[in-house]
Amino acid sequence: MTAAVFFGCAFIAFGPALALYIFTIATDPLRIIFLIVGKANEGLKTINPDEPAPSMRLLAYVSGLGFGIMSGVFSFVNTLSDSLGPGTVGIHGDSPYFFLNSDLP
């Protein structure tokens, strides 16, 4: 059951980003580089100056999606790890309802 909760929460959190990646980015290797590295435009120009630069809209979209994925990973990883099993959260004596309350604003 804990694995089902883990994968359910992970797909709810990262499903839209995964769909955007599969349908718009995964087909072009240059977009994958921009997704991971972010501001790689100048570095790629020095390696291959004959290659035309991608449009700024495409660069902004891919870099923004990469930033959003990394931000989500860093902010959601603790909640996902808590959903995997009966581990101790923080210092002993925390509320047993931590996992239920951890995502509330």
pLDDT value at position 19? 93
Give per-residue pLDDT as tens, 1-15: 677 777 888 888 889
pLDDT value at position 22? 93
**Where are the chain's structural domains?**
2-83
Give per-residue pLDDT as tens, 27-52: 888 888 888 876 766 766 777 777 77
CB-CB neighbours of 35 under 10 Å? 21
Q: Measure the CA–CA gap between 61 and 25, rounded to whole angstroms.
A: 10
